[in-house]
Structure 1
Amino acid sequence: MYDEYFRQLEEAGKIRNLKERSISCYKTYVSYFLNYVGKEPSSLTCQDVRDSFPQSLRLMRCTGSWRPRTT
């Protein structure tokens, strides 16, 4: 669903010389956040991130799930 965004994220991580595990973690966080918010990345605003990101991280920690939800 977000393949192009994840490809760009992976490319940016490689340019910054990040390890594969770090890139994978970033992709997991981003995937979980996008599923939590329920919006396309192109329609997200800075306010969406401010409002939702802390709650999505808290939910991930409380549920013990570090895997993105599937819709």
Structure 2
Amino acid sequence: MKFDLETGNYRERYVNAAVRIMHYIEDHFLLVGKYDTEAIADFVISTYCPEVFDYMPRLIIRGASTPARASS
């Protein structure tokens, strides 16, 4: 389905999609930053329909800084 600004309320569709993506992220990932889910949702939406946006976020995702060790 092509994203069309002339059809329907695109702001409402964007917000609904962002909320659904953020709920999915919150349910499946542990993020510590206050706005991490919003940034990831914005990234997902902007890569899905790049012709709508002038700028897109760049994500820099880092994992744990030290390897986890099992205690024996």
The TM-score, its normalising length taken from structure 1, stands at 0.40
Structure number with higher relative contact order (C-alpha < 8 Å, ≥ 6 residues apart): 1
Structure ID, larger Rg: 2
